[in-house]
Amino acid sequence: MTDTAPSLDPLAQMEHDKTRGYNQGLTPLHPPQKSLIRLNIGIRAVILIIAAMVIEFGIRNELPLAAGTIIGPVTAIALFLFTFLPGRIYRRWGYDIGPEGQDDQLRVLRGFMWRMDTIVPFNRIQHIDVAQGPLQRVFGLSTLIVHTAGTHNSIVALPGLSTPDAEAMRETIKGHIRQDMI
């Protein structure tokens, strides 16, 4: 939940600063999230390439297609997405817990093509979960899930947090909720 990146690696610091510029100065997600995004895109790309292979081999007797007519473009698109999309998605996520001196809301900014800026006041929060899937565990990541009152957008998920940061945020929000109840 720290606001600054460790200054050990100058390239990592440059990436951190670049990310903060894309997400309006909010705290970026934990850096391994980019690798997790890349892995998820890679899994989908492999499935898409296998589907293209099945389609191409299935219709090759029906239509006079040259080898690679379907597989080639699909593979090129998959490699392009695998290479360039994870960084773009990662840079466009950010979060913050309240403005300076007023820690009474959670702000989550996300979206690559369609931007969504969600602000959740702590007094609207019903309960908080910290979830972790099998791939997230490999990267040491967790998702903070905030359930709010109401029906529209009543669940706000913030993936890509380090597990200690997600747990610390949960405790911070719980502390504010307890203060509001008193």
Q: Is 133 helix (H, G, I), strand (E, B) or coil?
A: coil
Between residues 12 and 86, which one has the greater pLDDT? 86
Q: Is 77 helix (H, G, I), strand (E, B) or coil?
A: helix
For 13-65, the pLDDT digits (tens) are 555 565 555 667 788 999 999 999 999 999 999 999 999 999 998 888 788 88
At 6 the pLDDT is 47
At 2 the pLDDT is 47
Query: What confidence tier does 5 reach under pLDDT thresholds 50, 70, 90?
Result: very low
Q: How far is CA 169 from CA 16, 35, 37, 122, 173, in A?
A: 20, 23, 22, 12, 6
For 89-138, the pLDDT digits (tens) are 999 999 998 654 566 888 999 987 888 988 888 888 889 999 999 999 99
Read off the pTM: 0.80
**What number is the average pLDDT over the span 143-166?**
90
User: Which residues does residue 48 pair with via DSSP β-bridges, in sequence order?
Assistant: none
User: Which residues does residue 95 pair with via DSSP β-bridges, in sequence order?
Assistant: 27, 108
At 45 the pLDDT is 96
